[in-house]
């Protein structure tokens, strides 16, 4: 319809950002986060360094975009899980499974990113624009827990706090595995272990 030119332009811009994003990812994979240099990204993206600054304000802006792109799928899937018709308990299981699936798919990169402190403080993501990544995820998990509490399946507890403990545990385990402590990559085993550890502490003992 209207403004096809503007639409084309927007599409092009998105393509360029994606292209640069992929280049950045490849650079991080090859050189680590410290090795993320704008000239390397430009070379990997087959554009000039100056071009990067057309699509991203500065390095931090690019890094934010990278992180968003990495976390977004996880976050979206997690939201889908939260909003699904599964029982809270199944949602939790689905979260565990999702986590391991996603991590295993991007092990090297995610490990690097997630472990990073430099994460220019406030990472902006979708509707969770002013929350940090961890907080975003933990927040959703907390909502699942709350639902479980309301439905009586889970015992009453400080949900966000529990969510942090759970999500922190899971991501640390994944980092440790990525770091080499445990070569096994059996998702179902991982999920089972998580359930075994966390569920008893969540379930409502008074429930049948």
Partner DNA sequence: TATGAATGAGCCTTCATTCAT
Partner DNA sequence: CATGAATGAAGGCTCATTCAT
Does residue 161 interact with a copy of itself by CB under 8 A? yes
Does residue 105 interact with a copy of itself by CB under 8 A? no
Nearer to DNA, 27 or 71 (CB): 27
**Region near DNA per CB under 7 A, out of 5-13, 92-100, 108-116, 172-180:** 5-13
Task: Please select the residue that binds DNA; options are 53, 86, 97, 132, rule is CB under 7 A.
Answer: 53
Does residue 173 interact with a copy of itself by CB under 8 A? yes
What residues numbered 53-92 form the site for a copy of itself, per CB under 8 A? Answer: none
- Angstrom distance (rounded) from CA 66 to CA 110: 11
What residues numbered 10-49 form the site for DNA, per CB under 7 A? Answer: 12-13, 16, 36-39, 46-49
**Region near a copy of itself per CB under 8 A, out of 13-21, 75-83, 100-108, 194-202:** 194-202
Task: Please select the residue that binds a copy of itself; options are 16, 26, 33, 38, rule is CB under 8 A.
Answer: 33
């Amino acid at each position: 319809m209207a403004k096809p030119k503007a639409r084309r332009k927007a599409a092009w811009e998105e393509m360029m950002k994606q292209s640069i994003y992929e280049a950045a990812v490849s650079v991080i994979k090859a050189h680590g986060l410290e090795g993320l240099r704008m000239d390397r990204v430009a070379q990997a993206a087959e554009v000039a360094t100056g071009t990067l600054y057309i699509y991203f304000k500065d390095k931090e802006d690019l890094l934010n975009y990278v992180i968003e792109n990495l976390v977004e799928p996880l976050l979206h899937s997690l939201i889908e899980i939260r909003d699904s018709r599964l029982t809270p308990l199944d949602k939790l299981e689905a979260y565990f499974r999702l986590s391991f699936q996603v991590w295993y798919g991007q092990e090297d990169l995610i490990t690097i990113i997630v472990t990073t402190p430099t994460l220019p403080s406030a990472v902006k993501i979708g509707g969770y624009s002013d929350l940090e990544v961890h907080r975003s995820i933990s927040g959703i998990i907390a909502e699942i827990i709350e639902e479980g509490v309301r439905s009586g399946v889970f015992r009453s507890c400080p949900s966000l706090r529990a969510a942090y403990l759970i999500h922190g545990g899971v991501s640390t385990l994944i980092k440790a595995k990525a770091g080499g402590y445990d070569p096994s990559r059996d998702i179902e085993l991982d999920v089972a272990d998580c359930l075994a550890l966390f569920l008893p502490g969540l379930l409502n003992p008074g429930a049948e």
